[in-house]
Amino acid sequence: MQRRKAPLLRRLAGVVFYNLPHPMRRRIVRIATPTYTLGSVVLVMDAERERLLMLRQPPGKRWSLPAGLLNRREQPIEGARRELNEETGIEADLEELIPASPCAVVHTSGRWVDNVFHLERDPETTQVIVDGHEVWDAGWHPVDDLPEMTRATAKLLAHYGLGPLADQG
């Protein structure tokens, strides 16, 4: 195997870097590498997958899905369950949250990744509770007649053949 010699400045930078204390090296790497945001989304639907639970949240009139950012070191399925409960009052066991296909959707040029889960609930018997602050309204909507939604929600739903952009999914 033949090795190419790195330019002098690069070699010097490498020597300096690897002689730094480990915590300092880790901090430099974290600052220098691209970051991304992780979230979890729950598609709450009836057994026939004919109705979808959607939320209207501040600041607008458009609808979205139960979702939120993951806390540090939180598993996506745990974040999905937490956000679902915080935003709708619906409690779900981890076994009930089924990874969607695809199970992750990448947004904003790879800087945002949503982990997506399905949850089956009966709209007639499921009590949905909103706080009026984080969520203004919640409603079950026929999948073939969804309300005006945020652009991000429309793009996410397109991956599952739903919403106004379904033909682009």
Write down the pLDDT at residue 75. Answer: 96
Number of domains the chain contains: 2
pTM of the complete model: 0.80
β-strands 98-107, 112-120: how paired? antiparallel
Regions in the chain scoring below 50 on pLDDT: 1-3
CA dist 90 and 145 (Å) reads 23
Q: How would you class 46 by CB atoms within 10 Å of its CB: exposed for 0-12, middle for 13-18, buried for 19 or more?
A: middle
Range of the domain at 17: 1-33
Q: Are 67 and 142 within one domain?
A: yes
- State the CATH number of the domain containing residue 44: 3.90.79.10
